[in-house]
Amino acid sequence: MTAQDLNTTTIPLYPTAPQPATPAYATDEPALDSFGRRIDYLRISLTDRCNLRCVYCMPAVGMHFMPRPELLTSEELLVVVRAAARAGFRKIRMTGGEPSLRPDLVELVRAIKSTAGIEHLAMTTNGLRLAKMAGPLKEAGLDRVNISIDTLDPQKFRQVTRGGRLEQVWEGIAEADRVGLHPIKLNAVVVRGLNEDEVPHLAALTLDHRWEMRFIEVMPLTGVADVAQDGVVKSEELIAGIEAIHGPLESLGLAPAESARRYRIPGAKGKLGFISSVSDPFCSTCNRMRLTADGRLHLCLLRDDEVDLRAAIRGGASEAEIEQLVRHAVALKPWGHGLPDGVLPTLRGMSELGG
Ligand code: SAM
């Protein structure tokens, strides 16, 4: 065959081998990202819906929730969990929206906890439904909970959550404590002008309880960037405020792969944690990825990069192929957020990402 023949036949002159959708990654090894971080913690948003409307999480108007067919079914979600476990993920946190609104939550907990490779299963919740659900969740295999509580004042709680009853949260915390969802961590997002004056009182909860009270800097997610713009109170300022009332705090350091810098009020039973995602981020030890309720792996909380697993699952991909996609997503994980360079996330609000 001459060059002349080649140009007149249908044989391509420069044939290329079919490319796999993603490069092949080694299996049976934990997934490392391109910076050498081991990524083994998956935070799953079970739904974008919530029974509260916290001012730092959702805008007052204009919230759109995903149509139900867009959400991963529980079978699809378990495909992702198994694929992630095969890619070396060991810890899972269920979040939302409000994860306790998922109708089959107890069965989901049982199935996730019995997945080979999954060692630890936690949930972040507003606590409203815990008084009823803590027992069944514990029995199904849930290890522990983080419960959001931004103020001790019922009136302010109603204002912050746009209608929530603080008493219901206390009942949830008490039941979670009673059934042993330990260690219980309480989360407060601190917003200047809203609840920073509550911080020493919230910190005092640790004097008599073995809880960890964590204070989170408000982040500029889509829909609430205005709240976050002037709302960030740096952890140093919070620590100074607590020390003014409770005396010098004892530093307990930063546990590996943890986001909170830990302290203790001397003599207290519990601990304090400060999550300074804006002013002093922990990107170098980040070990996490997020799965949105509509089946995207979201690679960094404060960036828009995503890998679509739902399309692959609904397109008939095998679990081994989903595992490869998970590993591919891990390899693409960005180093960290771009807030200092003015890069803001635009795609999703916190209620879709789960914190
Ligand atoms: N509904 C559950 C709850 O209330 O904890 C789980 C979902 S919520 C989105 C998860 C965590 O994100 C909560 O601790 C919440 O306080 C935190 N959060 C929400 N919006 C935030 C923001 N703009 N900045 C920092 N944390 C935020």
Q: 202 in ligand 1 pocket by Cβ < 6 Å?
A: no
Per-position pLDDT tens, the chain of length 355: 444 443 333 333 333 444 445 677 877 788 999 999 999 999 999 999 999 999 999 999 889 999 999 999 999 999 999 999 999 999 999 999 999 999 999 999 999 999 999 999 999 999 999 999 999 999 999 999 999 999 999 999 999 999 999 999 999 999 999 999 999 999 999 999 999 999 999 999 999 999 999 999 999 999 998 999 899 999 999 999 999 999 999 999 887 777 899 999 999 999 999 999 888 888 999 999 999 999 999 999 999 999 999 999 999 999 999 999 999 999 999 999 888 888 888 889 999 999 9
Q: 57 in ligand 1 pocket by Cβ < 6 Å?
A: yes
Give distance in angstroms: CA of 25 to centre of ligand 1: 34
Q: 124 in ligand 1 pocket by Cβ < 6 Å?
A: yes
Give distance in angstroms: CA of 126 to centre of ligand 1: 9
In angstroms, what CA-CA distances link 221 with 201, 295, 347, 351, 354? 27, 19, 9, 9, 11
Q: 84 in ligand 1 pocket by Cβ < 6 Å?
A: no
In angstroms, what CA-CA distances link 10 with 18, 19, 181? 17, 20, 66
Helix, strand or coil, per DSSP, at residue 347:
coil
At residue 2, the pLDDT reads: 40
Q: How far apart are CA 238 and CA 279, in angstroms?
A: 13
At residue 1, the pLDDT reads: 40
Ligand 1 atom nearest to 224, measured from its CA: 23
Q: How far apart are CA 201 and CA 204, in angstroms?
A: 5
Q: How far apart are CA 122 and CA 176, in angstroms?
A: 12
Q: 94 in ligand 1 pocket by Cβ < 6 Å?
A: no
Q: Are 343 and 334 in contact (CB under 8 A)?
A: no
At residue 9, the pLDDT reads: 36
What is the pTM for the complete model shown?
Answer: 0.92
Rg for the chain, CA atoms, rounded = 22
Nearest CA to ligand 1 atom 11: 355
Q: 195 in ligand 1 pocket by Cβ < 6 Å?
A: no
- All residues at 6 or more sequence positions from 38 whose CB lies less than 8 Å from its CB, including other chains: 30, 31, 32, 88, 287
Give distance in angstroms: CA of 220 to centre of ligand 1: 12
Q: 148 in ligand 1 pocket by Cβ < 6 Å?
A: yes
Sheet of strand 185-190, all strands in order from the earlier edge strand to the far edge:
250-254, 261-264, 271-275, 212-217, 185-190, 144-148, 120-125, 91-95, 41-45, 288-291, 296-298, 306-308
Q: Using the structure block, give the residue that is written with the tokens 């997934």.
A: 31
Beta strand ranges found along the chain (DSSP E): 41-45, 91-95, 120-125, 144-148, 185-190, 212-217, 250-254, 261-264, 271-275, 288-291, 296-298, 306-308
Q: How far apart are CA 83 and CA 86, in angstroms?
A: 5
**Hey, what are 47's tokens?**
């739904």
Ligand 1 atom nearest to 217, measured from its CA: 25
Ligand 1 atom nearest to 277, measured from its CA: 25
